[in-house]
Amino acid sequence: MESSSTKHIPQSIESLRLRKLQLVGILCGFSAGAWLGAAEAPTKLVKLGVSPLVVSLLMVVGVFLARWSLPALIRGTGQMRADIRQAPHLIVWGILAGCLWAVANTLTIFAIRDIGLSIAFPLWNINSLLGIFWGYLLFNELRDAGKLRWLTVLGGALLMFLGATLLAVASSTQSPAEHPLRGILAALGAGCLWGTMYVPYRKAYLTGMNPLSFIAFFTIGELGMMLSLALLYGGGPAALSHQLDLARPVLFWLMLGGFVWVIGDLFQQYAAKYIGISRGIPLSNTNQLWGLLWGILVFGELRGLRTSLYAEVIGGSLLMAAGAGAIALSSITGKEHARWKQAADRESQRYRLDADYVQAALSGNEANDPSGLPAAKSRRTWLDYVLVIAVTTIFITLAVLARAPNMALDWPALAALAAAMLVFLLASGLALWKTTRFN
C-alpha cells in the first residue's frame, strides 16, 4: 500500500522512548488478556432462562456506563471534546468499530449454539491472524521489521492458535452440532468482524485520538447495534421488555461483567496504539487462558474428568504462553516505527490534521493546542463528577437489588485471581501514567 522508498526514512522517535512505549504496550496487552478473561466470570453466575441476546445486551449496557464514566474520571470529558475538534472523522470510525463488535458478539452466540465452544472458539480466534494481515496491508506494521520479527510474530500467533484450539477442545464437554455449516459460518464471521474491528482502532491511534475518547464513541455504535439486534431477533419490544424483567435479579452481575470487560478493552486499545494491532491482538487473546483459569479454579469446571483432558489444558496453556512470549519479545525497530509514521503522515494529509497533534499522539505525548501553546492540564468539570456519581449510584443500587448466587465458589482462588488482576491494573495504569499521562 505504501509506495514511497524506504531509503531515506527518518528515525521517527528516539529509540529509548520507543522502547519505553513498547514495554507499556506489551504490559497493556497482557493486562487486557487478564481483564477480558475475567469479564466472563460474573456471567457464569447467571443461571436464569434469559435469552443470550439479552445477556449480551445487558453486558453492553454495563459497558456503555463504564465507557462514559471511566474517561470522565481519568481525563475529564473536556479532553474528549478537544480530540473531536482535532479529528472529527474519528467519531464515525468509533461507531463503525462498535457496530462490528456487536454483530461479532451476536454471531458467537449462534456459533456456540450450532457447533459448540470447542470448534467455535478457535475459528473466531483467527481474528489475530487477520489483524496481522490488516496491520501489514493498511498501516505498514511489520514493514522493514526483518525476518526474525516476522517469524516470531507469525509463529507466536500460530502457537497461540494451536493452544487456543487445545484449550477450547478441553473446556467443551458439549456435543456439537445440529447445523455445522451455519455454526462454522457464524464463528468465521465473528473472527472476520473482530479482526477487522482493529482497522478503525489503528486508524484512530495513528491519527492521534486518545483511546479514552475513542471508546466513548465506540460504545454508541455498540449499544445502538446491540439494541437493534435484540429488538429485531428477540421478538420485538414487548418480548424484549419481558426478558429484561426476567433478568432483573441478575442485572448487577451482567453489568459488572461489562464493566470488567471495559477495563480489559481499554488496555487492549493502549496495546493497539503502542505496539500495533499485529502484536496487540495476539497478546489480548491470552484472555482465553484467564477465562479457563476462572472456570477451573473458581467455578470448579472440568473437575473429575479424565487425565488426558488435563494434559490438553496444560499443553494448550503452555502453547499459548509460548506464543504470547514470542510476540512480546518481537521488538519494534526504529525502521519499522518510521514506517508507522509514514502511515500516520498519510492519514494526517488525507484528513488535514495538525502534524504536531499526530506526532505527539504517536509518541505518547500531550499535543499542543492549535495556538501552539502547551495543552492545558486535564480539568474535570461538574459534568464529569455528575457522570461518575450517577454511574456509581446505578451500580450500588443494582448491587443492593442483586440476588446472591447459589453456587459453590472457591473463594481463595477467587481472591488470588482478583489480586493478580489488581496487580496488572496497577502496573499498567502506573506505567501508562508515567510514560504517556494516559495519552
Partner 1 sequence: MLDENPAQKPGGVWRMILTDVHFWVPAIILLAGLAVLHWIR
Task: Write out the residues near partner 1 by the rule CB under 8 A.
Answer: 85, 87-89, 92-93, 96-97, 99-100, 103-104, 106-107, 110, 114, 134, 138, 179, 182-183, 185-186, 189-190, 192-193, 196-197, 199-200, 203, 229, 233, 350-354, 370
76 exposure class (CB count in 10 Å sphere: 0-12, 13-18, 19+)? buried
Contact present, 407 and 299 (Cβ < 8 Å): yes
In angstroms, give the least distance from the CB of 262 to partner 1: 21
In angstroms, give the least distance from the CB of 38 to partner 1: 27
Cell of residue 398, nine digits: 443494582
**Sign, Cα dihedral of 276, 282, 283, 287:** positive
For partner 1, the closer CB: 67 or 202: 202
Cis peptide before 177 (omega within 30 of 0): yes
In angstroms, give the least distance from the CB of 370 to partner 1: 5
C-alpha 342, offset from chain centre: 26
What is the C-alpha to C-alpha distance for residues 198 and 300, in angstroms, rounded to an integer? Answer: 34
For partner 1, the closer CB: 313 or 344: 344
In angstroms, give the least distance from the CB of 346 to partner 1: 10
What is the C-alpha to C-alpha distance for residues 50 and 391, in angstroms, rounded to an integer? Answer: 24
Cell of residue 291, nine digits: 477465562
Look up cell 529509548; give the residue: 16
For partner 1, the closer CB: 92 or 430: 92
For partner 1, the closer CB: 83 or 384: 83
In angstroms, give the least distance from the CB of 350 to partner 1: 6
In angstroms, give the least distance from the CB of 189 to partner 1: 4
For partner 1, the closer CB: 88 or 237: 88
For partner 1, the closer CB: 92 or 423: 92
Q: Which residues contact 187 (CB under 8 A, 6 or more apart)?
A: 107, 108, 111, 115, 119, 120, 121, 123, 124
